[in-house]
Amino acid sequence: RLQAHGTTLAVFGRPPSFEVLAIRTARLAKPYENGLDVTLDVTVSAGELLESVEEQAATVGVPVPVTGPPWAGVLPPRGGWRPEPGLPTADAVRAKVAEAVAEFRSRTEELAPELRTRAELDRVGREIWSRPIGDTGLPVRAAHAAQALGFLRPVPPAPVSAGGQVTSGDSPLALYSSGAWLRLRTPFGSIAVRRAGLGSLGVSVH
């Protein structure tokens, strides 16, 4: 789902299997305009959007709208976000994800072949990926999605300063909450997760 207001473009997408929303924003060279429209709010095909990107020209076209899936109608609020304490460092978050992946593989490999059903794999996965990170309430699946999308990769070190010091290359992370939502913000994008889950799509107003 694409939303443009002024010179800010926000792109929302749901990575498969994670039950989270991935959010990327970009600064437009000029305010969005389409005839008399000054805002954009449309759901499009991710594949067609990718094909419309012209990297050399630094332009992107808006594909023909499609009927959006249910999650596209339940987006995080624009405002009202407040910082949440207790989020570990990026290195610690990556380590937590690695531990969860290793545990999932170990536990599923130990299952007898007749017990290695989709229902049992899903049960083990829900147990592991629903665990909170530290005392934050942010489920591990949100960090796993961030890592899978490249949002948790280290920030390239800054050039050496005159004093000979180099800025740390670790990714600064921040956690915010607004209503029923938690948002993990990284330098490369954000992951938003609804406390009730994206599968619970009752009407909610923010």
> Does residue 196 form part of some domain?
no
- Which structural domain range is residue 125 located in? 82-156+170-177
The confidence score (pLDDT) of residue 203 equals: 34
The confidence score (pLDDT) of residue 197 equals: 59
The confidence score (pLDDT) of residue 145 equals: 96
> Does residue 34 form part of some domain?
yes
Q: Coil, helix or strand for 66?
A: coil
d(Cα 202, Cα 200) in Å, to the nearest integer? 6
> Which of 49, 73, 97 is the endpoint of a domain?
73
Contacts of 129 (CB under 8 A, 6+ apart): 100, 139, 140, 141, 144
The confidence score (pLDDT) of residue 57 equals: 86
Strand spans (E) along the chain: 2-5, 8-13, 21-27, 39-42, 53-54, 59-60, 82-83, 174-178, 181-186, 189-194
Do residues 66 and 87 share a domain?
A: no
The confidence score (pLDDT) of residue 206 equals: 30
φ and ψ of 54, to 5 deg = -110, 100
pLDDT tens, residue order, the chain (206 aa): 999 988 899 999 998 878 899 999 999 888 887 766 778 999 999 999 999 999 888 888 899 999 878 888 889 998 899 999 999 999 999 999 999 999 999 999 999 999 999 999 999 999 999 999 988 999 999 999 999 999 998 877 665 555 454 444 566 899 999 999 999 999 999 999 998 655 444 333 33
The confidence score (pLDDT) of residue 35 equals: 63
Q: At what angle do helices 118-129 and 140-148 cross, to 10 degrees?
A: 100
Decide if 86 contacts 134 (C-beta within 8 A).
Answer: yes
> Does residue 183 form part of some domain?
no
Number of independent structural domains in the chain: 2
